Structure formats: structure tokens, C-alpha cells
């Protein structure tokens, strides 16, 4: 037992120093080199308001809708629903979201609805939607706002964010920024 006690204490102490001290300091140092020194971002509207750059509930027909949120867009409690894709309650929730979307977008077929418009992100706070999710909503918004479809298509094109290093991840659109730009059109 004495032969195992000293190596165990040394290993525990070494891992405590490495993972409890050195590793967090290295990550903090990397964050200092990131834009805004790792403090996050806010998006400013032209009306002087600040919007936190997390997902928000856009449910009006005149806006691009966000991803659903399992935590009701509450940044204090980030998280997913943790229900399996086979869970009957979860499936009913997704089916209700599909029905609600089709009711507001009657020209869209069920198969055309991107998955990110009916399922929540892992954090429940993702401010991004896919490019397809933006395009599928254009007709509804154009009708509600009296804008040309081509103008909204151009607006969506202007807000596409490319993948990291051009290959890591899909193209996305920040819904908060897109809706602020949409308001600025009128």
C-alpha cells in the first residue's frame, strides 16, 4: 500500500496543477487573442438598442424565425431537451412545429422545411440558421412587408457567413443581424 500511496499523491497533485491551473490559463491566453478579447459580442441596432448575440424568439410573420429553443432563449440556463429522437413527446413537439410552420408558410412543402427550423440547437441559444432556413421563409416575409422577393434574396445573400477557414462547418446566417437589417430596409 505504501508503494502505491506516494505515486497516487504525486499524480493527483500534478493533474490538479495541470488541469486546474495551467490549462485554464492557456485557454484564457488564447481568448485574449480572439476578437473582443473573448468577452463575446453584442449587435447594435440603428435604434440605439443592443441585442445580445444569442438566439432570440422571432415569431412574428414579418421576421425570419430563429431555431426553436429548449430553454426558451434563456442564457442563464443553456441546454438541450435531452430527449431521444424516438421519444414520443419530442416527436409530437417537432410535428407541432412543422404544422405551425406550414400554417404560416402555406406554399412550403413539409419536405422543404430545413431541420434547424423545427429542432433546437444543443445550447438552445444558437443565433444562426442555415441558408436554406432563411430562403424558405422569404415568400412569407415579402408578402407581410410588401417587399420584392428578389430584394429579400439579396439581403439573405449579404448575410451569409462562411465556414471557419472555408471548410469547417456549413454556411450560416445570424438571424438577429438579418432581422435588424430587414428592419433597416423600411
| 56 band by pLDDT with thresholds 50, 70 and 90 | confident
pLDDT of residue 48: 59
| 3 band by pLDDT with thresholds 50, 70 and 90 | confident
| 110 band by pLDDT with thresholds 50, 70 and 90 | very high
Residue 99's contacts (CB-CB under 8 Å, 6 or more residues apart) are none
CB 30 within 8 A of CB 21: no
| 47 band by pLDDT with thresholds 50, 70 and 90 | low
Q: pLDDT averaged over the chain?
A: 87
pTM given for the model: 0.73
Q: Within 10 Å of residue 121's Cβ, how many Cβ atoms?
A: 19
CA-nearest of 55, 50, 47 to 116 is 55
Average pLDDT over residues 81-105: 90
What is the Cα Rg of the chain in Å? Answer: 22
Indicate the pairing of strand 42-44 with strand 50-52: antiparallel
Amino acid at each position: 500500500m505504501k508503494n502505491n500511496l506516494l505515486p497516487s499523491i504525486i499524480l493527483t497533485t500534478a493533474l490538479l496543477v495541470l488541469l486546474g491551473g495551467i490549462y485554464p490559463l492557456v485557454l484564457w491566453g488564447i481568448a485574449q487573442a480572439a476578437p473582443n478579447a473573448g468577452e463575446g459580442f453584442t449587435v447594435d441596432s440603428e435604434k440605439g438598442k443592443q441585442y445580445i448575440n444569442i438566439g432570440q424568439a422571432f415569431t412574428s410573420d414579418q421576421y425570419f424565425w430563429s431555431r426553436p429553443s429548449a430553454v426558451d432563449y434563456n442564457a442563464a440556463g443553456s441546454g438541450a431537451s435531452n430527449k431521444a429522437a424516438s421519444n414520443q413527446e419530442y416527436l409530437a413537439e417537432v410535428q407541432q412545429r412543422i404544422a405551425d410552420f406550414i400554417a404560416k408558410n402555406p406554399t412550403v412543402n413539409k419536405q422543404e422545411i430545413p431541420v434547424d427550423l423545427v429542432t433546437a440547437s444543443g445550447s438552445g441559444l444558437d443565433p444562426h440558421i442555415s441558408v436554406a432556413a432563411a430562403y424558405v421563409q422569404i415568400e412569407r416575409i415579402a408578402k407581410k412587408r410588401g417587399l420584392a422577393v428578389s430584394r429579400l434574396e439579396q439581403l439573405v445573400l449579404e448575410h451569409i457567413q462562411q465556414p471557419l477557414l472555408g471548410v469547417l462547418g456549413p454556411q450560416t446566417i445570424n438571424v438577429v443581424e438579418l432581422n435588424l437589417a430587414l428592419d433597416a430596409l423600411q
